[in-house]
């Protein structure tokens, strides 16, 4: 068996190298690639993706995993070896359903789609992106047909990002969450609005960028194994645990988006940098799921970065950098301002109380696109109608409406629900850690995040993909994904801010 495990390690290492190279090309595509390089980049990424896919779905890999699976009954089901074999085998079984030619075609289509999305968003013209999105949706519909029928076709897409989760589970969670969030929003809307004019003044980009670097460093981001660059849509890209890169964007009229966006992407990066190195170049080297991943980014952005205790330490430093804008703004005014609840068009700039409604809207649209019950050309109109229903506002243009997110251009249908799931998981983890560490607020007031990071590293990060998301959440918190702690967190926080 040891010889077989060694062979598995060798094979998966080569596949990981190809995937890492593809990830690097993808990062460059969004950060530095000239617009004219989209087609050639798509060909390159398609070739690498196809090679990795062919290697992983080879007859040699299949026979090796079949042999290793015969040893599973004699292994500890919670042990590293068992999990390595079972997760790799699960990935293999899913991958063998997908033809290599499809992988190459998908890479080419999405490379062109992403470039078209950038142009369409810049010009606020959905018609530029529409034919590309039609191809992306058609690819996803074909992808579903490669697998055995599921309870719902969307299950197949969701499982890519949230292993083991079902559409019905997510809908049930959201159905329980939606009325509670709407009730909270209505209560807040009856109270005097928080003043946040200071957030919309002119700020110097480089000064805000430098401050965001200071915060990311304090959180524990290892700059020897990472970097930060500007891009159109912020993201974190892991090219292996020792090369984890973050990006941020500058929006002059929303200067704090750079800061909180950096906190968010740093949360993702801390997770990737914290995966045990023994999983490097194996099937377990990344995060458990995108929902778990999002719990990390949302925790560092919100529970930490928007907390009063955090700003008791960092506000004087920010005030010193922006004396003109913040000199006459008290800590209490600042804290209330950065937590203002106001329905907005842009998901990534949405406050905590409205954010999940953006996700629920997108989930409904994704399911409708997959089912073919909406015409892609009608999406802007449908999007705006749902924004009115969910948030009471209508985007003024396509750029701030249907074109605001990059995900669909990358073919990632099935992805969005993980953002809301991440919010819920973050509250569960936060509640658990506070119960174990009553000194948390004092630590935040001192700018000391070492205890929190160490706990997350031990409970979440180090395990990589060893556990499925629901299993991991239950192991750490004692229950599966549950919206109750998140609602309690929101009510306590905004009850104090708005005097509810």
In a 3-state reduction of DSSP, which class is residue 250?
A: coil
Backbone angles phi, psi at 102, to 5 degrees: -65, -40
**497 in Cβ contact with 336 (< 8 Å):** yes
Rounded Cα distance between 379 and 130, Å, is 9
**From 162, 265, 272, 301, active-site residue:** 265
**121 in Cβ contact with 130 (< 8 Å):** no
Rounded Cα distance between 347 and 315, Å, is 25
Residue bearing tokens 């926080």: 493
In a 3-state reduction of DSSP, which class is residue 236?
A: strand
Rounded Cα distance between 221 and 46, Å, is 31
Rounded Cα distance between 312 and 305, Å, is 11
**7 in Cβ contact with 67 (< 8 Å):** no
Q: Helix, strand, coil % (nearest 5) of the chain?
A: 70, 0, 30
| Tokens coding 73 | 């009954």
Rounded Cα distance between 472 and 480, Å, is 8
Residue bearing tokens 């309690």: 488
The answer for 281, left when phi > 0, alpha when psi is -120 to 50, beta otherwise, is left
Rounded Cα distance between 224 and 323, Å, is 32
Distances (CA, A) of 464 to 165, 273, 341, 467: 18, 10, 35, 8
Does 265 qualify as catalytic in the annotation?
Answer: yes
| Tokens coding 162 | 């949230």
The catalytic site residues sit at 265
């Amino acid at each position: 068996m040891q010889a077989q495990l060694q062979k598995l390690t060798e094979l998966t290492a080569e596949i990981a190298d190809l995937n890492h190279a593809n990830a690097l090309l993808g990062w460059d595509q969004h950060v530095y690639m000239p617009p004219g390089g989209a087609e050639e980049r798509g060909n390159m990424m398609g070739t690498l993706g196809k090679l990795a896919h062919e290697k992983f779905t080879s007859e040699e890999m299949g026979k090796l995993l079949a042999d290793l699976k015969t040893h599973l009954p004699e292994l500890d089901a919670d042990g590293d070896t068992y999990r390595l074999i079972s997760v790799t085998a699960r990935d293999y079984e899913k991958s063998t359903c997908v033809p290599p030619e499809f992988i190459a075609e998908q890479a080419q289509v999405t490379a062109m789609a992403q470039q078209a999305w950038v142009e369409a968003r810049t010009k606020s013209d959905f018609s530029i992106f529409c034919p590309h999105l039609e191809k992306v949706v058609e690819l996803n519909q074909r992808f579903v047909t490669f697998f055995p029928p599921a309870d719902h076709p969307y299950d197949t897409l969701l499982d890519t990002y949230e292993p083991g989760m079902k559409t019905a589970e997510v809908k049930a969670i959201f159905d329980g969450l939606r009325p509670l969030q709407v009730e909270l929003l209505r209560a807040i809307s009856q109270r005097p609005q928080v003043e946040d004019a200071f957030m919309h003044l002119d700020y110097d980009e480089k000064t805000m960028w430098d401050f965001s670097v200071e915060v990311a460093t304090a959180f524990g981001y290892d700059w020897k194994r990472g970097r930060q660059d500007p891009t159109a849509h912020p993201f974190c890209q892991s090219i292996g645990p020792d090369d984890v890169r973050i990006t941020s964007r500058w929006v002059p009229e929303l200067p704090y988006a750079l800061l909180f966006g950096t906190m968010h992407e740093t949360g993702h990066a801390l997770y990737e940098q914290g995966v045990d190195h023994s999983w490097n170049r194996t099937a377990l080297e990344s995060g458990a799921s995108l929902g778990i991943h999002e719990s990390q980014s949302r925790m560092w952005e919100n529970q930490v970065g928007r907390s009063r205790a955090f700003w008791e330490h960092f506000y004087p430093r920010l005030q010193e950098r922006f004396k003109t804008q913040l000199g006459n703004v008290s800590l209490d005014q600042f804290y209330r301002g950065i937590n203002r609840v106001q329905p907005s068009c842009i998901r990534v700039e949405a406050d905590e109380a409205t954010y999940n409604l953006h996700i629920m809207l997108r989930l409904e649209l994704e399911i409708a696109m997959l089912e073919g019950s909406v015409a892609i050309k009608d999406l802007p109109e449908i999007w705006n109608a749902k924004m009115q229903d969910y948030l009471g506002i209508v985007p003024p243009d396509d750029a701030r409406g249907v074109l605001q997110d990059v995900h669909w251009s990358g073919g990632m249908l099935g992805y969005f629900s993980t953002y809301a799931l991440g919010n819920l998981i973050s509250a569960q983890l936060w509640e658990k850690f506070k119960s174990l560490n009553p000194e948390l607020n004092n630590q935040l007031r001192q700018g000391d995040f070492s205890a929190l990071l160490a706990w997350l590293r031990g409970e979440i990060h180090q395990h990589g993909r060893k556990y499925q998301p629901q299993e991991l959440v239950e192991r750490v918190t004692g229950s599966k994904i549950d919206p109750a702690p998140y609602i309690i967190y929101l009510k306590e926080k905004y009850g104090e801010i708005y005097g509810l």
